[in-house]
Amino acid sequence: MSKSGLGIRSSIADLNNRQFTDIIRYDMIVAHNTNTTPKESEELDKLLKDSNVRERLQVHYETLHKTAGRNKDNQEITALVIQNKDQANFGDYIQLKDRKTGQELSLDQDGIILSEKIANLTGVKVGDTLTVQDKDGKDIQLTVSGIAEMYMSHFIFMNEETYEKAFRKVATDNAHLITLTDHSNQLVADMTTEFMGLESVQGVAQNTTLKSQVETIVNSLNRVMGILIAVSVLLAIVVLFNLTNINVAERIRELSTIKVLGFYNKEVTLYIYRETIYLSFAGILVGFGLGFAFHHYMASIIPPDTVMFNPAVSWSIYAVPAAIVVAILTTLGFIVNRWLKKVNMLEALKSVE
């Protein structure tokens, strides 16, 4: 249990930072109407050039749908189409890479780059065909050319040629990815209000809401996993203590005989405690395997469909539970050794079983 608890805590640790610093680097997506008056377009351009806007990238933004997940729910997928001339700069807004290999993914090839969580929910792999529905319910078939590391929300990334081939229409630039000079929640909220006040703006998707939702999940799970770890440590102490206590009580005459024959206290202690040590180390090895499987199981069922926990864990997740068991064994070893020193071996030999 301790390995699973520590594993989940490791999987959710710094989740917001990995998502919104290492991967997602923009602050908001501003979707605008394509049919606007010159005055409305001018107002939008003016705000896009505001001093609080550090950089912006024009993209095609579209929401697609896919039925997937344990409950076969409707999954909303954000599709972003990147112009060929902007592909070199796209990494400034979203870093696309394979989580397992660390390899950067490119949009200059045929097919789409799919976020990892929706790939897991649908069971598709690189080279497979993913069928999604557009806003009109029309089936769109897309070939997966890469699966990108992503811990929140569902995304599809593609170039203009892939979009035109699959959707049979030209991608229109109807949104901007915007990075602000300051990533504070207050500035994001203020700029969102300003953009939403424009007639040409259809909607704004900001990251602050997602951040707060995930922060709530992380804090709640950290408390639960902390209790799980504490209970597992207490359980290990109780089991090892009772196992040793029963073993000594049942074999006290045997231990008395060995001590009377001239064995030292440490040798007597190891005689009875060696079995507990062997069983404990066997339990550690079995616990590694079961803990690994249980951790991956919990990491797949605990988060909602739009959130993915990091399945990779560091070596410390294996080392810490093993160190805890070794510490408990060592402490109990000293206790058993002192206990056996105080036992009157001659009286024990005289006792009737």
Over residues 18-76, the pLDDT tens digits come to 888 899 999 999 999 878 888 988 999 999 999 999 999 999 999 999 999 888 899 99
Q: Which of 124, 95, 92, 93 is nearest to 111 (CA)?
A: 124
Which residue's structure tokens are 């917001």? 16
- The answer to whether residue 95 scores a pLDDT higher than 60 is yes
Asked whether residue 149 is domain-assigned, the answer is yes
**Predicted local distance difference test score (pLDDT) of residue 93:** 94
**Predicted local distance difference test score (pLDDT) of residue 347:** 58
pLDDT bin (cut points 50, 70, 90) of residue 1 is: low
Task: Kindly tell me the sign of the dihedral angle through the C-alpha atoms of 34, 38, 40, 44.
Answer: positive
Give the pLDDT confidence of 274-299 residue by residue, as tens digits: 888 888 889 888 888 888 888 888 88
Q: Amino acid letter at 44?
A: L
Asked whether residue 10 is domain-assigned, the answer is no
Mean pLDDT (whole number) for 292-308: 84
Q: Quick one: tokens of 338?
A: 């002192």
Give the pLDDT confidence of 7-30 residue by residue, as tens digits: 676 677 778 888 888 999 999 999
Q: How far is CA 47 from CA 51, 61, 75, 78, 331, in A?
A: 9, 19, 32, 24, 67
Asked whether residue 3 is domain-assigned, the answer is no
| pTM for the predicted model, two decimal places | 0.80
Give the pLDDT confidence of 244-275 residue by residue, as tens digits: 888 777 777 777 777 766 677 777 778 778 88
177 and 250 in a single domain? The answer is no
Last residue of one domain, picked from the residues 150, 176, 206: 206
**How many domains is the chain partitioned into structurally?**
2
d(CA 157, CA 91): 12
Q: How far is CA 190 from CA 181, 215, 245, in A?
A: 13, 22, 66
Asked whether residue 11 is domain-assigned, the answer is no
169 and 43 in a single domain? The answer is yes
- Residue 55's domain comprises 22-206
316 and 190 in a single domain? The answer is no
285 and 253 in a single domain? The answer is yes
pLDDT bin (cut points 50, 70, 90) of residue 333 is: confident
Taking the C-alpha atoms of 270, 276, 282 and 285 in order, what is their torsion angle to the nearest 10 degrees?
A: -100
Give the pLDDT confidence of 212-232 residue by residue, as tens digits: 877 887 788 778 878 888 888
Check if the beta carbon of residue 202 is closer than 8 Å to that of residue 33.
Answer: yes
Asked whether residue 168 is domain-assigned, the answer is yes
Asked whether residue 274 is domain-assigned, the answer is yes
243 and 313 in a single domain? The answer is yes
Q: Which residues pair with 187 in a beta bridge?
A: none
52 and 110 in a single domain? The answer is yes
The β-bridge relationship of strands 155-159 and 175-180 is: unpaired
